[in-house]
Structure 1
Amino acid sequence: MKNLSIFLLMLVSAKSFSQSQKEMYSIMEKTAQKLKEKSGAYSVSVGIVKDGKVYTKHYGEIDKGKGNKADDNTYFEIASVTKLFTGQLLAQAVLENKINLEDDIRKYLKESYPNLEYNGTSIKIKDLISYKTALPRNLPDDTEIRKTMSDETPFQYNTLGENYTKDHFKQDLQKVKLDTIPGTKYAYSNLSLELTGLMLENIYGKSYETLLNENILSKAGMDHTKLELGKGEVLANGYYSSGRLMPKSISYLWGAGGSKTKSTMGDMVKFLKYELDSKNSVVQESQRNINNSKGDWYGYFWDGFGLSEHGKMGYKHGGAFGDQTWFTI
């Protein structure tokens, strides 16, 4: 979907550039202007961490004609960037020996799911984190909606999900049919992430939200990243390329895939710094090349990792109804 409000986050390592502060802001402005012109976005925000120092800048306006520029405390929906949180929680479970990458995922589900295998081959944890589960993209099933994408699509998604509960998810999961052997084919799946949220709750006996707050947000000092905003807290508007105001996402599932998360630039640059911590064993595990592949890899739910002349580089995109987020280390 073509959405007009863009929340862009980038992380630049110390080896990448040697620019002064003035030059850094000049680079940010040129990048933001190119994005704004190419996408037609009303608003572009850029955050960079270099040599431990944070640079943030905001361009344009959230609502066309109102002059309301975003700032470091503006709440946006970060969508699938949330998957990196979920990946870290699962990486922690691996390091704590509560789970093994070779395990059948059904070991951590309380209900019976004989359907979650293909010709006798089950889905393993390592398939889950690499988007190779052979599971459908979404539950509830959005096949028909995805056939025709327009500025009406987000409203259709909300209609589909407004009465869809965790119990409905578990019931539908028992009806899912895998279309190939798990571990053999990449297929992006939000269903896999909500399933991970359920598994994590079963493993720890705590809600996904509690696990997120205790193990990541509090440690990173991210006080403005939430599944639900408090009283008086306002989410920035986002728009489709047609100029139509987009709705806020509705979900009653775990939120482990990103359907509920709101955050700010201020918090996201904290998370950028958190992801750079070479001494944080959970972070390093979540970025690991688990299959020791010679090419690119996925870590735990990243869109991709690879090697460059500057070292390891990873990226994750989050697409909400009204804004887009690029998270890069």
Structure 2
Amino acid sequence: MKTTVTITVLFLAITFKSFSQNIHQKIDSILKVTHQKNPNISISLGLVKDNQLYFKAYGNLSRISDQKVDENSLFEIASITKIITANLIAQAQLEQKLKITDFIDDYLPNAYQLNKNLQQKIKISDLASHQSGLPDIDFRSLIMANSQQPTDAVNQETLSKIINNCNELIDFGNYRYSTIGYILLGQILETVYKKTYPEILNENLIQPLKLTSTYSTDFNVDNKVQGYNSEGGTQELFNWGITGPAGLVKSNTLDMVTYLKIVLNQKSRLGKAAILCEKIKYNKDGRQLGLGLNIIKYKKNTVFLKTGDVLGQSSIIAYDREHKWGLVFFLNQRNHSLRQELFKNIFEIIKTK
């Protein structure tokens, strides 16, 4: 009997290993073909499946460098920052520092004076699910003024003017992607913790997960990847500033897969916060959103997903809690169509049939 059990366990272990290797080989094949078709674009991918980690990368740190990209290479995670900010908000609820159903009025810095029409109307969850109705920053004008560092021009005065001059929420309760909503969430975190966002990020994410290459303010490292805009011109990584909680964190695939691994552990603090973020807060016209997360349902699969695009890089992070996998990859060029194509092809491999 004991021998039979031992043989069965060994067989299952070998089968699982072969299955995992098959997935890895297929993903590697997709990445290799993608890079052959786009030799100037570097790709770094990380996958966690059934608690096992896998990394693969193609390309160099820049088009004039011989140093290869790997899981330690630093990228801009762009708007993936938003799911980190949302998770920190959920952690604050777990600590009873706020409730996501609270109105934002009492949590905002004194620089904001909400118009009477806006008072006791916008909830924290509205900011996090892009349905607050607040006007947003005019990034088109900022890019025209400074294409390398457009966010440098945004300060507290800029934000106060936008919020304090708003007297009507023209599309409250409807989806409209919002950068300013996540900047406000970052400031709400600073209010309840009485610390700066980088300090909160460090104490509630970087230190507990022992992340070694996730940065906010200081990211002057040797293995930083050069970004390129959609036309192929060089693009600087954005400086840290007041818009940081919406999209300015820098990291690598190793740290982000470590993040995903802990998110998939529903007993962890981060996992419990992620489960709060996964609850549907917006459900209209075929679009479902949690806190910072797009919710994609396909047959047996429920995928929580966030994309990121800055002027010089594109990224995506996705996971399926039920089927125990998580994926992240970075491109060192702004190319959302290639990102979407790559994710679609990889999803075909790892999804549950």
TM-score (norm 1): 0.80
Query: What's 1:174 paired with?
Result: 164
TM-aligned CA deviation for residue 224 of structure 1: 1.1
Which of 239, 257, 266 is the matching residue for 1:278? Answer: 266
Change (3 A) 1:240 1:77: same
* Kept after mapping to 1: 8 A contact 2:230/2:312: no
Aligned to 2:302, the other structure's residue is in SS state strand
Aligned to 1:186, the other structure's residue is in SS state coil
CA distance in structure 1 between the partners assigned to 2:17 and 2:153 by the alignment = 52
Structure whose alpha-carbon radius of gyration is higher: 2
TM-aligned CA deviation for residue 97 of structure 1: 2.7
CA distance in structure 1 between the partners assigned to 2:219 and 2:230 by the alignment = 29
Query: What's 1:130 paired with?
Result: 129
Change (3 A) 1:323 1:142: closer
TM-aligned CA deviation for residue 178 of structure 1: 4.1
1:64-143, aligned counterparts within 5 Å? 64=63, 66-111=65-110, 112-115=112-115, 117=117, 122-138=121-137, 141-143=138-140
CA distance in structure 2 between the partners assigned to 1:245 and 1:92 by the alignment = 37
TM-aligned CA deviation for residue 310 of structure 1: 4.2
Change (3 A) 1:287 1:116: farther
TM-aligned CA deviation for residue 128 of structure 1: 1.1
CA distance in structure 1 between the partners assigned to 2:276 and 2:74 by the alignment = 29
Q: CA RMSD in A?
A: 2.9
Query: What's 1:264 paired with?
Result: 252
* Cα deviation digits, residues 289-321 of structure 1 (max 9, x gap): 24689965322111x113444443111111122
Count, aligned residues: 300
TM-aligned CA deviation for residue 124 of structure 1: 1.3
CA distance in structure 1 between the partners assigned to 2:233 and 2:220 by the alignment = 26
Aligned to 1:224, the other structure's residue is in SS state coil
* Kept after mapping to 1: 8 A contact 2:211/2:255: yes
CA distance in structure 1 between the partners assigned to 2:307 and 2:241 by the alignment = 22
* Kept after mapping to 2: 8 A contact 1:135/1:179: yes
Change (3 A) 1:176 1:233: farther
Change (3 A) 1:64 1:160: closer
CA distance in structure 1 between the partners assigned to 2:144 and 2:33 by the alignment = 26
* Kept after mapping to 1: 8 A contact 2:154/2:243: no
Equivalent AA in structure 2 for residue 320 of structure 1: V
Identical counterparts, % of pairs: 27
CA distance in structure 1 between the partners assigned to 2:172 and 2:63 by the alignment = 46
Name the one with the larger helix percent: 2
Query: What's 2:146 paired with?
Result: 156
TM-aligned CA deviation for residue 211 of structure 1: 1.0
* Kept after mapping to 2: 8 A contact 1:158/1:250: no
TM-aligned CA deviation for residue 194 of structure 1: 0.6
1:239 aligns with 2:238: no
TM-score (norm 2): 0.75
